[in-house]
Chain A
Amino acid sequence: AQTVTQSQPEMSVQEAETVTLSCTYDTSENNYYLFWYKQPPSRQMILVIRQEAYKQQNATENRFSVNFQKAAKSFSLKISDSQLGDTAMYFCAFMIPHSGGGADGLTFGKGTHLIIQP
């Protein structure tokens, strides 16, 4: 079974600082996808960034970037120039494509509560 571990239950940084959230996962598969989701107090889960395991280049979306280390099974999220609106729960998630009939289920970590202080 696949597992996703987020070792930081809570983090707090000052506005404009850079923060890195850690995520490790465990799988014997070679083809998979990784995601970071943000859940603000409104509860709406928002996809922040995705990474395809067969791509070596790290994904980037504006202030959000990942450090994907496939051999180490590590997928950290870096938020640059943090803003008050970045305050949220952040979930790392992992998915192995389903072959044949069926759906591609996401396995989530337990989340990191990120607080951006003014």
Chain B
Amino acid sequence: DVKVTQSSRYLVKRTGEKVFLECVQDMDHENMFWYRQDPGLGLRLIYFSYDVKMKEKGDIPEGYSVSREKKERFSLILESASTNQTSMYLCASSFTGAYGYTFGSGTRLTVV
């Protein structure tokens, strides 16, 4: 069964902390994505990567960075967490977007 695995289901972090959200896929997909999901706003794209060490900004990259050192792993980094980054974070991967994405189960991050 193919999978996208997000390392944490729930996280609570303090304001100002550096936060790492990890995502691993086992499907040999080139493309990986990080979305943020908030009630009433749907899913908004933060960053994506189409190859190892390649990354591009999405619609809301401010306050975030990413790392992709290996094909199967795509990390989202909050350099200095703030309360407005409290949200659900979804990771996804695809071989080609024409067939949609495979999503992870999400990480609910609370910044206090």
Contact = CB atoms under 8 A, between A and B. Distances in A.
Contacts of B106: 43-44
B83 interface: no
A103 B98 contact: no
A105 B88 contact: no
Contacts of A30: none
Interface in B68-107: 88, 90, 92, 94, 96-101, 103, 105-106
A60 B96 CA distance: 21
Interface residues of A, number: 27
Contacts of B64: none
Interface string A88-117: 000101010110011111111111000000
A84 interface: no
Interface centre among B56, B97, B98, B103 (most CB of A within 10 A): B97
B48 A43 contact: no
B97 A103 contact: yes
A1 to B, nearest CB: 9
Q: Which of A50, A98, A101, A103 counts the most B-chain CB atoms under 10 A from its CB?
A: A103
Contacts of A93: 100
Contacts of B97: 33, 95, 97-98, 103-106
A47 interface: yes
A27 B33 CA distance: 22
B100 to A, nearest CB: 5
A50 B40 CA distance: 23
Nearest to B30: A103
A101 B42 contact: no
Contacts of B43: 91, 106, 108
Contact of A42 (B35, B50, B92, B105): B105
Given A45-B101, A103-B48, A110-B41, 6 more contacts: A33-B97, A37-B100, A43-B88, A47-B101, A104-B98, A108-B44
